[in-house]
Structure 1
Amino acid sequence: MDKPEVTLENYEAVYAYYRDHQQNRMLAMLAYASLYAKYRPRITYADDAKAQLAGLVKSGRVLIVAANHITHSDQYTLAATAWKTPLRRAIGRTRVLAKDELFVDPDLHKKVDMMGGIPVFRSKNYGLRAVADAGRLMMDISAERVCRGDNLAIFPEGTCNEDDPTRLQHINSGIGHIAKRAADRGVSPVLLSIGISYGPDAHGPDTENVKSASVFVGEPLFDLPAKPMDIAHVVQKDLQIAVDGAVAAY
């Protein structure tokens, strides 16, 4: 299938493409390794989290990875973290929800595709009504990929935190809807929260101080509630704990 133009008007063709898109795993591994060499995050773990995560990835158990969103470089920090943690084994079978603006420039589009990106059309850009149908299809496709064995990485705040990088913004129910749709199809993903801190003075979308981030990998959560909003509340609490850990370790 030919790669479609990533526009809201074209959302059905976009998600038909990303339903099956698969990047070259070897190229993805090289890219993630180069991002680690550039960004070099300093990684700490919750008690027993590293061993648990290694076991989950080795067994093929699917994960929903939730990370806080501070700058435009967070996806690179997260990729660098994946390379240096047990998540390395999951490179090439992890989808990353990414704002549609990243798919406009052809060169950047190619890089985001290589990292496993799936476009998201955000209500802040188009309005809630305009993105409703596209959003539902995006959640369906994301849940389908999870059910087929892919992990899913999400920045559930939806936009960069320009105020206080130590406190999460409100998390809406989108992550909960994806997890529930996967569970309704017989697959219960494990939640993995990853907190990122660049220090107290580095936040907002365009900050340059993004290297040597403090990254905290939380303990995997196996039992999620049944309702999407309840799942979002759990993510809010668990991800804040991971952010607190990243801030404390900075």
Structure 2
Amino acid sequence: MDVDLARSDAVYEHYREHQQDRFRAKLMYGMLAARIRPVVQFASRDRLVRAARSGNPLLIAANHVSERDPLVLAAAGFRSPIRRRIGHMRVLAKDELFEDPEQRRKIDTLGGIPVFRPKDHGVRAAAAAAGQMFGVCVDRMKRGDSIAVFPEGTCNDGDVTRLQKLGTGIGHIAHRALRAGLDISLVSAGIAYPDDDRGRPVVEFGEPIDLSRFRDETPASLTRIIQGDLQHVVDDVYHAH
């Protein structure tokens, strides 16, 4: 099945049910960790351990500064308490990454869910597909999956220490999940590529935030909350390096 906007109904029905092979997923995440060797740091490792063990879905928000970011985040996840979620981790990725069959197999193993971005397909055409994608994310979270998002939507080619304005997609996912009665934890991940660490990327996982206390917030206000927390973690990772 092609990942094509014209067939978004079939695409998202497929990814609503798709389950990657957990053994192959752990193997691939482990290989990425061995190859990339990211420096991983934590605002509170103990709290991240508790969140990862809780069984509640995690909503991971990461900044986007390089095309390498999804692989770096996967490698860092393997070297963190989030490792226990591998095999039940879904990652939103732009649809063009699913075009090449070999690359798609790898992305499917990593837990990819395609996103049809407005910048690629137009606002109106992408909006309906976005609603379907939000629904798939919430259905996956109901089954215990966690979701990783790069909510800036595109690589930051300006000041990488300052987030671009986040798209409200991540706020819609959080809003729908909370309205569905799910207890979810936000985990912000700051990614940096310092020049003074032999080329090794640095990833900091922020202190988990229980989003259930924001259950009555709107998608837009949830997006602002997420932006503030992610910027705080990005500040930390760049200040430390």
Q: 2:47 maps to what in 1?
A: 52
Pick aligned residue for 2:143 from 132, 135, 148:
148
Range moving further from structure 2, 181-190 or 10-19? 181-190
1:108 matched to 2:103? The reply is yes
- What residue is the counterpart of 2:232 in the other structure? 241
Give how far 1:147 is off.
1.6
Residue deviations 1:44-73 (CA, integer Å, cap 9, x gap): 111xx2111111212212110000001111
Preserved CA contact (<8 Å) 1:191 1:222: yes
Distance 2:10 2:199 in 1: 37
Mapped partners of 2:231, 2:194: distance in 1: 16
Counterpart position of 2:39: 42
Looking at structure 1, the residues matched to 202 and 69 of structure 2 have their Cα atoms a distance apart, in angstroms, of: 12
Mapping 1:1-250, distance limit 5 Å:
4-46=1-43, 49-199=44-194, 211-223=199-211, 225=214, 226-250=217-241
1:152 is displaced (CA, Å) by 0.3
Taking only the aligned residue pairs, the percentage that are identical comes to 45
Q: Spell out structure 1 runs of 4+ moving beyond 4 A.
A: none
Query: 2:235 & 2:36 partners in 1: Cα distance?
Result: 21
Give, in angstroms, the shift of residue 249 of structure 1.
2.4
How far the C-alpha of 1:211 sits from its partner, in A, is 4.5
Counterpart residue identity of residue 28, structure 2: A
**Judging changes above 3 Å, is the alpha-carbon distance between structure 1 residues 27 and 59 closer, same or farther for their aligned structure 2 residues?**
same
Partners of 1:211 and 1:179 in 2: CA distance? 34
Aligned-partner residue type, residue 236 of structure 2 = G
Deviations 1:10-69 (A, max 9, x none): 1110000000100010111110011011111111111xx211111121221211000000
Aligned match of 1:206: none
TM-score by length of 1: 0.92
C-alpha separation in 1, matches of 2:112 and 2:184: 19
Identify unmatched segments of 5+ residues in structure 2: none
Partner SS for 1:19: helix
Equivalent residue pairs, number:
238
Mapped to 1, the partners of 2:18 and 2:52 lie a distance apart of 21
Q: 5+ residue gaps in structure 1?
A: 202-208
Cα-to-partner distance string for 1:97-127 (whole Å, 9 max, x where unaligned): 0000110000100000000000000000011
Quick one: structure 1 residues 198 and 210, their matched pair in 2 at CA, closer, same or farther if it must change by over 3 Å?
A: farther
Matched to 1:241, the amino acid is H
User: How far apart, in 2, do the equivalents of 1:248 and 1:216 lie?
Assistant: 11
2: distance between equivalents of 1:174 and 1:22? 23
What is the distance in 2 between the residues matched to 1:247 and 1:114?
A: 31
Map Cα deviations across residues 65-93 of structure 1 (whole Å, 9 max, x no partner): 00000111100000001110000000000
Tell me the CA shift for residue 216 of structure 1: 1.1
1:143: Cα distance to partner?
Answer: 1.2
Counterpart-to-counterpart distance in 2, 1:172 and 1:76: 22
**8 Å Cα contact 2:67/2:155 also seen in 1:** yes
- Does the C-alpha gap of structure 1 residues 218 and 189 become closer, same or farther in structure 2, counting only changes over 3 Å? same
